[in-house]
């Protein structure tokens, strides 16, 4: 669990985060959404210590990350996996070398043990036998999966994903969403995802934080978001006529399910 309380952050005269508090829950896909300039990227960078908040606290499973020395923070950072927007693979390294990089840096495993671990995570992201390929030889979706494999190779407690579906086609995006979601549940990680992808919001949004102009505007899950009466959220999520129609259909489906359940209850009495 990651809890942050009353986070404020300014750059010069510009207030970017204004008194933001929320809890990122363990074993759930925690999504941060909002339009460009809403503060979600700055918030995520504060959570991992790339930016220092001007005020407020960030707490990792009861430990106050904000007040730690840089040396003490290393212990927390070694439990963090990062999936970057552009995957951030080293072009001159093979897939195996890219994934092994964190093991080389932070583990004391023997080479044979590191290779075994690389093969385990490659198998988990369905890229078995891709070890010797270079990033230029694989697709965008495969690069994302390599990025996920590298992010989880150290068995992190916390996983941060920055726009994981950026640049991917809808079908590949769904594959990446499903993989991140499965891994989150399988390893009981606290996963924090910055995204603009509305399909991700609807499919894997266990815990959603909607940011607007540096403030927390709305929180809920992918079931509750359909019925939200928050006008700012609705104009952001359902900006197009197509998405509004999809919302109306989902509301009708949900209402039908409720009615069906009530009818079943009556029959069972």
Domains and CATH numbers, the chain: 2-222 (3.40.50.300)
Question: Which has the higher per-residue pLDDT, 110 or 254?
Answer: 110
Classified as helix, coil or strand, 24 is: strand
Residue 41 above 50 pLDDT? yes
Question: Which has the higher per-residue pLDDT, 133 or 266?
Answer: 133
Place 36 in a pLDDT band, splitting at 50, 70 and 90.
confident
> Model confidence over 178-210: pLDDT tens digits?
999 999 999 999 999 999 888 999 999 999 999
Distance (Å) of CA 27 to CA 46, 48, 181, 182: 21, 18, 9, 10
Residue 269 above 90 pLDDT? no
Q: Answer yes or no: are the C-beta atoms of 1 and 28 closer than 8 Å.
A: no
Burial letters for 253-265: b for 16+ Cβ neighbours within 10 Å, e otherwise?
Answer: eeeeeeeeeeeee
Q: Answer yes or no: are the C-beta atoms of 162 and 81 closer than 8 Å.
A: no
Residue 267 above 50 pLDDT? no
The per-residue pLDDT for 110 is 95
Q: Answer yes or no: are the C-beta atoms of 41 and 162 closer than 8 Å.
A: yes
How remote is the C-alpha of 80 from its chain's centroid? 12
The per-residue pLDDT for 124 is 93
Rg (CA), the chain: 20
The per-residue pLDDT for 264 is 45
The per-residue pLDDT for 240 is 44
pTM of the predicted protein model: 0.86
> Model confidence over 207-260: pLDDT tens digits?
999 999 999 999 999 999 988 899 999 988 876 444 555 555 655 665 565 555
Q: Answer yes or no: are the C-beta atoms of 250 and 198 closer than 8 Å.
A: no
Burial of 50 (0-12, 13-18, 19+ CB in 10 A): exposed
The per-residue pLDDT for 253 is 64
Instruction: Give the N- to C-terminal CA distance of the chain in Å, as an integer.
Output: 42
Residues whose CB falls within 8 Å of the CB of residue 268, separated by 6 or more in sequence, listed in order: none
């Amino acid at each position: 669990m990651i809890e942050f309380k009353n986070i404020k952050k300014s750059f010069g005269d510009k207030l970017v985060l204004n008194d933001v508090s929320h809890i990122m829950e363990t074993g759930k896909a925690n999504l941060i959404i909002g339009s460009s300039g809403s503060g979600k990227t700055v918030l995520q960078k504060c959570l991992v210590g790339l930016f220092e908040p001007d005020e407020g606290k960030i707490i990792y499973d009861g430990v106050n990350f904000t007040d730690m020395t840089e040396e003490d923070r290393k212990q927390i950072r070694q439990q963090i996996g990062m999936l970057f927007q552009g995957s951030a693979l080293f072009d001159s390294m093979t897939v195996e070398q890219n994934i092994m990089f964190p093991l080389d840096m932070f583990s004391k495993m023997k080479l044979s043990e590191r290779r075994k671990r690389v093969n385990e995570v490659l198998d988990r992201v369905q890229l078995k036998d891709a070890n010797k390929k270079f990033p230029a030889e694989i697709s965008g979706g495969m690069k994302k999966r390599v990025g996920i494999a590298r992010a989880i190779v150290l068995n992190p407690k916390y996983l941060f994903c920055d726009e994981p579906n950026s640049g991917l086609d809808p079908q590949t995006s769904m594959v990446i969403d499903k993989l991140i979601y499965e891994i989150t549940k399988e390893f009981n990680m606290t996963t924090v995802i910055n995204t603009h992808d509305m399909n991700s919001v609807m499919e894997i949004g266990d815990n959603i934080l909607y940011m607007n102009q540096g403030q927390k505007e709305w929180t809920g899950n992918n079931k509750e978001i359909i019925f939200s009466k928050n006008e700012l959220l609705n104009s952001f999520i359902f900006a197009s006529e197509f998405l509004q129609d999809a919302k109306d259909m989902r509301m009708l489906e949900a209402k039908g399910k409720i009615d069906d359940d009530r009818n079943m209850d009556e029959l069972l009495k």
